Amino acid sequence: MKNLFCLLLSSLLFHVTSLAQDIPSYNAENLVQRFSGNDTVYIVNFWATWCIPCVKELPEFGKLEQYYKDKPVKVLLVSFDFKESYPEKLAAFVTKRKLRPEVVWFSETNANEFIPKIENRWSGALPATLIIDNRKKTRHFIEDTITFEKIKELTGEI
């Protein structure tokens, strides 16, 4: 009986970890390169698991990914969690919350260096969202919580 329990527990742990998202580490250059494509609208949210308003708005990005699933839109969640939370605690959070959009961890800590590379209007506060449509040459930046409806309004017809 004990062996059967251990086997079931091992099986369950393997299944849960196989569902977990592989969370890559990005720096500013990686991130800017990622949303430089001309054929996709990028909705990039900057957040952290310890940021209550950030966590509260995460479901909005899941709705956006589902809404735009057949469109050239990429939702990317950029985590600013502390180094000691990466990757295990962050991956566990993503799995527990069943986050569907892609999650990456931001590895840089010197805001004076990385902010100008990403968005000059950003003070560094979280949450923040960057919407980039290189086809239309538009760029929206919101340094506050945001809703599904507001992002739909800003992106217009895709």
Residue 109: which CATH number?
3.40.30.10
CB 122 within 8 A of CB 143: yes
Q: What is the pTM of this model?
A: 0.86
Sheet holding 102-106, edge to edge: 25-26, 102-106, 73-79, 41-47, 128-133, 138-142
Question: Which residues span the domain enclosing 136?
Answer: 22-155
In a domain, 4, yes or no: no
What are the mean pLDDT values of the chain's consecutive 10-residue runs (158 residues total)?
42 43 94 92 98 98 96 97 97 97 97 97 97 94 97 91
- The answer to whether residue 1 is domain-embedded is no
Q: Does residue 5 lie within any of the structural domains?
A: no
8 Å CB contact between 110 and 80: no
